[in-house]
Structure 1
Amino acid sequence: MTRRYFGTDGIRGTANKSPMTPEIAMKVGMAAGVAFQRGRHRHRVVIGKDTRLSGYMIENALVAGFTATGMDVFLLGPVPTPGVAMLTRSLRADIGVMISASHNAFQDNGIKLFGPDGHKLSDEIEMKIERHMNEDLSGKMAKPADIGRAKRVDGDLFRYIEFAKRTFPRAMSLSKLRVVVDCANGAAYKAAPSALWELGADVVPIHDKPDGMNINRDCGSTNPNSLRAKVLEVRADLGIAFDGDADRMLIVDEKGTVVDGDQLMATIADDWKRNEMLRGGGIVATVMSNLGLERYLDAQGLALARTKVGDRYVVEHMRAHGYNVGGEQSGHIILSDYATTGDGLISALQIMGCIVGSGKPASEVCAKFEPVPQVLKNVRFGGGKPLEDKRVKSAVDDAREKLGNTGRLVIRPSGTEPLIRVMAEGDDPVLVESVVDGIVGVIADLKTAA
């Protein structure tokens, strides 16, 4: 069966257009409710969301679907995605739902689902839900007396804040750090500043006033320019940028330099190895992580296991092979000793622990390796399968031959947008730029010819 709704990270699209319509959201609730009805206990689902205007619409549709199957719904309000994963377990829910399109602009939205263990659903379970969405479920709906109830439990955000704070080294304090926190006008706008202030930091929050339409707008982990400026303006020790649902983060050091997820994973791996916390003999990252990270870890006697793009695949490999640190270059970092999914706040606390423990500035602590020149370009396409075209295949083969053993080439369709992502890296920056431009040009010519 072909996947119609689910991509690499749940269901995502433009609000009020398929697949992000109230009708489909209600079908998701009904189908997931049927799929997770196990045993005779009173079933429950927790639903969180970021700050998008369309979140109200999607939330209400999901509530209708879940309650129709007899599930009780706990509505968390705006809360980071990892908070939903944590509270799914803490509240003994059968399923967790996050309404968010992550780093996308406000007009998009999405639905991410978690199982009772707080992990994102496997491909098999997502396919099962899709099958239910295409079935007549009228015979599986709850009887009138068994329809579910819904209630708001906004106070449970503080459960997550306390949980995150407990991951910070108990003997340390953030009292000597001035931290600028870019909340991306998203799900972290309450949790992150509160947690850091309670741990002693001098917190300067920015982009912490969501209005439903300003989430990720010129801010957050995908656009840290305003954070860089604020760090320099207030002479902060570091800045932290979250994305819209706060499952990823990047930092800006005291000099205004952006530090990506590869450097942050190397920093945590170093610290955890030194403190005998690191498991698996290395870390897990995706095919998009920089070759410099791989070389650095190798020099430390550590391995880098690569997966296809998507934090879910990183987590699956970590669980299967005993790793406890993994993530993506984008700043989506999974620390499985503490969380079942990427958690921007917990990752930030670990980095700050490294900085406080070293007594050195962030620019020294987090610059672990010199990145290999890397170029990533996106090509939008309207339909078809451009990667199967013989001209594109020929261009790819030619590029791989030119790079030889001194670089890497990764080409893949986006799981959330109609884009082909072309990435190359190697020691020769001119060659890297050339091979990417060559492939991008061929794909663009296909669109013109069509």
Structure 2
Amino acid sequence: MGRLFGTDGVRGVANADLTAELALGLSVAAAHVLAEAGTFAGHRATAVVGRDPRASGEFLEAAVVAGLASAGVDVLRVGVLPTPAVAHLTGALGADLGVMLSASHNAMPDNGIKFFARGGHKLADELEDRIESVYAEHRTGAPWDRPTGAGVGRVRDYDQGLDQYVAHLVGVLPNRLDGLKIVLDEAHGAASRVSPEAFARAGAELVTIGAVPDGLNINDGCGSTHLGLLQAAVVEHGADLGIAHDGDADRCLAVDHTGAEVDGDQILAVLALAMRERDALRSDTVVATVMSNLGFKLAMEREGIRFAQTGVGDRYVLEEMKEHGYALGGEQSGHVIILDHATTGDGTLTGLMLAARVAQTGRTLRDLASVMQRLPQVLINVPDVDKSRVTTSAELATAVAEAERELGSTGRVLLRPSGTEPLVRVMVEAADIEQARSVAGRLADSVKSALG
């Protein structure tokens, strides 16, 4: 069995790769591993379980709940809520474990399982490895130690989760949003109720699109992976800005009043300056990944803000933040972590904080985002290749070296296997967009040739 856990939980096509049996077995294994680790010592364990609106989430939720309860864990079922809401409630309710069923920005046929430890933090790699190991042991025949009678877990719906989470979001804002007109694109996802409620309570005038989930339309031509509808709506309604989430609302991208995209790097730059102004940017440092645009790093240096760089994945950003006590970090894709108020990327919180900066300064988002100038960057996804050989292929290493010589000091190349999909990402940055496209195209061909 290959490694089940990727950079963001276990993910695959629901009912093909990710079956009810797998969801149940992993949940039982997680309960046993956390019990062994002492997480449940001295008390009856409780888990918070939530999901996004995907149709497959209904049967996967039932499997996860059954697995946890069969292992003696009481379950609080919070229903359809964003991933960061499940993380927040895991901490706020003092639960020992959180489980979120979502494939985030992936298409509807996919789904995923994400575990949170006590406090709402993602599980460490070694715990995920142990869960896989225990699951594999019992899948091959070793019997589970199962409680009976009063020892089995109890299951109840926890209906207060949405209001509790929204109150938290609005309560941490530095100022209200009165006077702003904002378009929200909810990707027909998990934030379809949460985000409009939070922005409305904060005082914004709203236009909402993509907020009618039917179980099948999540991320379908809308949300943070398809900004066209939001861009058109912002211009049509004369809004001050637009906010787009993905399916589980752990990320946020934005659109300024002209319809131009404001990506995660620009959002990070705006929030970094805002937080430093109110002495909330600890060590005057922001954390970002190797995928961040070079223009972001240059802007932060110019503003006297230090830049700490990590590998791709919000979990690695979070690890760097926790290790050094930093308050802000994120990814170009829109995963932004504001550690004083969230334990994971939170798209609704990010959008609220961005809008609060617009309201507080009276400046347009376009003006605020101009603190950094994005260098031309081309990203090509190369599917159906052996992504495990990215770092070992001699042919590919030669192609990368040639590209780096051509770009010199004015650009950079990054190849990386996706942590959640069967593909390799080719990123090229250059001073000239045509050069970036040319080099990226040649490298994509090399990836196909070397790893296909």
Structure-1-length-normalised TM-score: 0.96
The correspondence for 2:439, drawn from 435, 438, 450, is 435
Aligned counterparts of 2:114 and 2:276: Cα–Cα separation in 1: 33
Deviations 1:124-152 (A, max 9, x none): 11001111111236342223331111111
Match of 2:9 in 1: 10
Match of 1:23 in 2: 21
Deviations 1:33-84 (A, max 9, x none): 1112221311111001001000011101111111111001111101011100
CA RMSD of aligned residues (A): 1.4
- Superposed, which structure 2 residues align to 1:130-149 within 5 Å? 130-136=132-138, 138-149=143-154
Matched, 1:336 2:334: no
Q: Which amino acid aligns with 1:429?
A: I
Give, in angstroms, the shift of residue 240 of structure 1.
0.7
Matched, 1:164 2:169: yes
Taking a change above 3 Å as real, the CA distance of residues 420 and 382 of structure 1, as seen in their structure-2 partners, is closer
- Superposed, which structure 2 residues align to 1:202-281 within 5 Å? 202-281=205-284
Aligned counterparts of 1:276 and 1:350: Cα–Cα separation in 2: 15
Match of 1:404 in 2: 408
Q: Which amino acid aligns with 2:27?
A: G
- 1:77 partner SS: strand
Most deviating of 385-394 and 244-253: 385-394
- Superposed, which structure 2 residues align to 1:291-302 within 5 Å? 291-302=294-305
Match of 1:72 in 2: 74
Identity over aligned residues, as a percent?
Answer: 44
- Superposed, which structure 2 residues align to 1:342-361 within 5 Å? 342-361=345-364
- 2:111 partner SS: strand
Match of 1:282 in 2: 285
- 1:52 partner SS: coil
Taking a change above 3 Å as real, the CA distance of residues 166 and 3 of structure 1, as seen in their structure-2 partners, is farther
Cα contact 1:3–1:127 (8 A) shared by 2: no
Aligned counterparts of 2:446 and 2:144: Cα–Cα separation in 1: 52
For structure 1, the 5+ residue unaligned runs are: none
Most deviating of 306-315 and 435-444: 435-444
Aligned counterparts of 1:139 and 1:224: Cα–Cα separation in 2: 47
Cα contact 2:387–2:417 (8 A) shared by 1: no
What is the count of residue pairs matched by the alignment?
444
Give, in angstroms, the shift of residue 430 of structure 1.
3.0
For structure 2, the 5+ residue unaligned runs are: none
The correspondence for 1:154, drawn from 144, 153, 159, is 159
Give, in angstroms, the shift of residue 406 of structure 1.
1.9
Deviations 1:233-252 (A, max 9, x none): 11111111011000101111
Match of 1:107 in 2: 109
Cα contact 1:386–1:392 (8 A) shared by 2: no
Runs of 4+ in 1 over 4 A off after TM superposition: none
Match of 1:183 in 2: 186
Aligned counterparts of 1:218 and 1:378: Cα–Cα separation in 2: 18
Most deviating of 61-70 and 426-435: 426-435
Q: Which amino acid aligns with 2:118?
A: P
Cα contact 1:280–1:321 (8 A) shared by 2: no
Give, in angstroms, the shift of residue 266 of structure 1.
0.3
- 2:373 partner SS: coil
Cα contact 1:278–1:324 (8 A) shared by 2: yes
The correspondence for 2:378, drawn from 375, 380, 388, is 375
Cα contact 1:411–1:422 (8 A) shared by 2: yes
Aligned counterparts of 2:442 and 2:387: Cα–Cα separation in 1: 20
Deviations 1:146-203 (A, max 9, x none): 111111112211100000111112xx33220111111110000001101111121111
Cα contact 1:51–1:210 (8 A) shared by 2: yes
Cα contact 1:167–1:349 (8 A) shared by 2: no
Q: Which amino acid aligns with 2:190?
A: A
Cα contact 1:45–1:88 (8 A) shared by 2: yes
Cα contact 2:378–2:427 (8 A) shared by 1: yes
Matched, 1:366 2:369: yes
Give, in angstroms, the shift of residue 426 of structure 1.
2.1
Give, in angstroms, the shift of residue 404 of structure 1.
2.3
Aligned counterparts of 2:167 and 2:442: Cα–Cα separation in 1: 51
- 2:282 partner SS: coil
- Superposed, which structure 2 residues align to 1:87-98 within 5 Å? 87-98=89-100
- 1:138 partner SS: coil
Q: Which amino acid aligns with 1:257?
A: A
